[in-house]
Amino acid sequence: MKTSTLNSKAGTSASPWFCGADFPAALRRGACMIALLPVLATAQSSDPFGTLAAVPPLTGVRSTGPAPCQPTETGQPLNLIDVVDLALCNNPRTREAWAYARAQAAQVGVAQAAYLPSVSASVTASRNRSEATRNNDPFSQQTAGLNLSYVLYDFGARAANLENARQLFAAAAASRDAAVQSIFLAAMQAFFLRHTADAVLEASRQSEKTSLESFNAAEARYRVGAATPADRLQARTAHAQAVLNRITAEGAVKTAQGLLANTIGADPTRSPTLSPMPPAAPESGFEADVAQLIETARLRRPDLAAAEAQFRAAQAGIESAQASHLPTLSLGVNTARSHLSGQPSIDSSNIGLTLSIPIFSGFSTTYKVLTAEAQADVQAARRDQVRLQVGLDVWNAYAALTTATQSVKSADELLESATLSERMAAGRYQAGVGSILDLLTAQTALANARLSRIQAGFNWYTARAGLAQAMGALDSNLLDELSVKNRP
């Protein structure tokens, strides 16, 4: 017997077969409606369960999603808020974290879909030839059918899977917020570092200018016999050291420019200009209850929230694994019509309940439960570790801010004293009653005092941002606070 067959199967797009005149009107209308339901639902909404819309927006910053960044006016200096906004918009880590959160939100939709029935349509058309029948004449056969399957009860398996998906989504959203906080802090540090490098360069130029004046004075006194060759050489050595310090500072500025450009997603060759940042002026008497800060941080830190959600997802995984060896009750509905050329059409339909009872699966279910329980223990340990780390982060950040605040005050006093000492030593040397060694020592002390004040300001800014990040409170409120306190 020789048979040549042409088969075609289609999903919901095959609805024209159901609408054909060869089928009863009731079957035709019902099949068309059911087959077109998914298409209509897709046309109305690409997110029928609203899971993607549930992705929480970024809080405390201007950029609240994957929308394009607002362009910055060309040539305009960037302030701290501009730098942070550009970093959050352009940094690939932000887009990666946002996309991962949306992917986990879609998985919640997958878990919710298990509560709905599944409907499929099939259409088969064939052209047959058989030597044993119908005098070897070819004949056609068409079959169309609808199948509906619906799980009525599964002893909590779907609920456990849905809870697992929801907790993983919560963990992804919290992880995205943690990544945003990290980029936020990196942008602030790059901004402060660029200003610090510029300030160090300016201080180095002042020191170079002062040392050159001292060298010229020593040279003039040496020529008239009022200074020794040692005085001239010491002044020359001090000037050469000042030149070297200035060259080193210029290199640090270029490094800071490249880091800032990279942070905001620009090429290092196109480093932006920045708005001026006045020296740090911390409030007097800064102090707080560290224990209270730690407890507040544990309520706000996104990485701890992510670890907690991962643990809850693992617990839901245990329930899902346990439910896999329980019975499942399903409803099945099937209707079909088969038409053979030259023969009357044959209609068939059935409806029934199916109870599936797992009896033995080679102990795979047992080990799935053991695996899920072990994974829950892992996530619990990770959560506890993050909880401890939060406390240490807040403690270290608070200590750093306290130290930086005191250092700024001490650096101000040191700079004031060194400035007066340098002026006095310069006056004594010009009057011929002071030595070149005293002058050079005073100038070196002044240069170091300038650098100490600049470094103290940088440390205070970064410590202030570091404490906010450790608290999980790094947002635009801190930017506004720093901008107001340091406004000229």
Q: Cα–Cα distance between 279 and 274 in angstroms, integer?
A: 15
Report which of residues 414 and 279 the model is more confident about.
414
Which DSSP helix (H) or strand (E) runs through 143?
A: strand 139-153
Percent pLDDT > 70 in the chain is: 81
- Coil, strand, or helix at residue 331? strand
- Taking only the tens place, the pLDDT of each residue in 446-480 is 999 999 999 999 999 999 999 999 998 887 777 76
Instruction: State the pLDDT confidence band at 9, using cuts at 50, 70 and 90.
Output: very low
Instruction: State the pLDDT confidence band at 159, using cuts at 50, 70 and 90.
Output: very high
pLDDT averaged over the chain? 82
Q: How high is the pLDDT of residue 282?
A: 77
Report which of residues 182 and 66 the model is more confident about.
182
Q: Which of 213-222, 291-300, 333-342, 374-383 has the highest mean pLDDT?
A: 374-383
Q: How high is the pLDDT of residue 225?
A: 81
Residue 208: pLDDT over 50: yes
Closest CA to 17 of 147, 148, 145: 145
Closest CA to 403 of 321, 485, 330, 464: 464
Percent pLDDT > 90 in the chain is: 43
Q: Cα–Cα distance between 437 and 407 in angstroms, integer?
A: 29
DSSP notation for 191-258: HHHHHHHHHHHHHHHHHHHHHHHHHHHHHHHHHTTSS-HHHHHHHHHHHHHHHHHHHHHHHHHHHHHH
- Taking only the tens place, the pLDDT of each residue in 265-305 is 888 888 788 988 877 777 655 567 888 999 999 999 999 99
Q: How high is the pLDDT of residue 364?
A: 87
Strands 328-340 and 346-356: antiparallel
Cβ atoms within 10 Å, residue 59: 10
- Domains of the chain, with CATH numbers? 1-46+118-153+329-360 (no CATH), 57-116+155-325+362-485 (1.20.1600.10)
The DSSP symbol for 11 reads: S
Q: How high is the pLDDT of residue 4?
A: 34
Instruction: State the pLDDT confidence band at 21, using cuts at 50, 70 and 90.
Output: very low
Q: How high is the pLDDT of residue 307?
A: 95
pTM of the model: 0.77
- Taking only the tens place, the pLDDT of each residue in 103-150 is 999 999 999 999 999 888 888 887 766 665 555 567 677 888 888 999
Length in residues, the chain: 488
Residue 348: pLDDT over 60: yes
Nearest-10 crossing angle of helices 364-430, 290-300: 130
Q: How high is the pLDDT of residue 239?
A: 92
> Tokens representing 218?
């020593």
Strands 118-128 and 346-356: unpaired
> Tokens representing 379?
């996530």
Q: How high is the pLDDT of residue 279?
A: 73
User: Angle at Cα 63 formed by Cα 62 and Cα 68, nearest 5°?
Assistant: 130
- Taking only the tens place, the pLDDT of each residue in 24-47 is 444 444 444 444 455 444 444 578
Instruction: State the pLDDT confidence band at 54, using cuts at 50, 70 and 90.
Output: confident
DSSP notation for 17-41: HHTSTTS-HHHHHHHHHHHHHHHHH
Residue 185: pLDDT over 90: yes
Q: How high is the pLDDT of residue 27?
A: 43
Q: How far is CA 428 from CA 154, 433, 435, in A?
A: 95, 5, 8
Q: Do residues 260 and 194 touch, judged by C-beta distance below 8 A? A: yes
Q: Of 55-64, 178-187, 405-414, which gets the smallest average pLDDT?
A: 55-64
